[in-house]
Chains A and B, each alone.
Chain A
């Protein structure tokens, strides 16, 4: 489990992500076995704990698929939908970042901000 300090730092980083990128509506950090470590959303409208668990399922499926196909580790999984986008990516071997945007055409922004966020978080949790 993460230290209290690390958890606070992750939460702060999530707040920063939401501040800096207007497209992000919600973001969660989850363990690879599906427990929520930190979460933030603009308005309390999404069941983020459930999203964390499902995110872990999807991320490990992604890892399994890319390993089967010998494509290296899975960088991210993107789910593009009529009313929004969800992106799943590894922070490190044990943590996953899941971000959600409802704006259309926000994919590029969502991915680049999330990726940077994940990289910074990786330094926090070592």
Chain B
């Protein structure tokens, strides 16, 4: 990876909306490696990311901001460490309608622990329209127990506005937090 590459990385559990989130802000059609799910994985969506998502935004300076999404499933965790290299910060998306969303968050906080320490992370909780619980307070409670001060926002990965909010918060903590 080039050292001066400007990139943001989206991670989080399967179906949380990483591919969708990148698609909602990228100016190019997202290059993704989504494949049909065999019935081995349990989810009611059709496709899953097996290598990465990739999107771009051209900045005023002419430079490019790269948006990378990781596969969500733990089986692909070797991609996580590859994709994270040189990232400005991490956006973690958690599907609130899963069996154990806080447990899911815990896994990503563990897996990306060092990277988060060095840079920063924000948490977007998706599918709160289908599953209002656990509520935000429970996430904050959990983070407090871990001694972390990361922001948590309920978002909809399909809305550009809410993805922008996550990035704004991430940049704010990188600069002022």
Task: Mark A residues whose CB is within 8 Å of B.
Answer: 1, 31-35, 53-54, 56-58, 60-61, 63-64, 68, 93-94
Q: State A32–B36 Cα separation when bound (angstroms).
A: 7
- Determine, out of B70-78, B107-115, B124-132, B149-157, the stretch whose residues face the partner at the interface: B70-78
- Residues facing A in B90-140 (CB within 8 A) are none
A60 with B38: CB separation less than 8 A? no
A57 with B36: CB separation less than 8 A? no
B31 with A60: CB separation less than 8 A? no
If A34-B75, A34-B76, A68-B31 touch, does A56 touch B36 (CB 8 Å cutoff)?
A: no
Main secondary structure of the interface of B (DSSP, over half): mixed
If A54-B78, A57-B76 touch, does A35 touch B40 (CB 8 Å cutoff)?
A: yes
Q: Which chain B positions have C-beta within 8 A of A63?
A: 33
Q: State A21–B38 Cα separation when bound (angstroms).
A: 30
A60 with B33: CB separation less than 8 A? yes
| 3 residue pairs, one from A and one from B, having the closest CB atoms | A31-B38, A60-B33, A32-B35
Q: Shortest distance in angstroms between A47's beta carbon and chain B's nearest beta carbon?
A: 12
From B32, B39, B73, B75, contact of A1 by CB (8 A): B39
Q: State A64–B35 Cα separation when bound (angstroms).
A: 11
Q: Shortest distance in angstroms between B51's beta carbon and chain A's nearest beta carbon?
A: 4
Nearest residue in A to B82 (C-beta to C-beta)?
A: A57
Nearest residue in A to B39 (C-beta to C-beta)?
A: A1
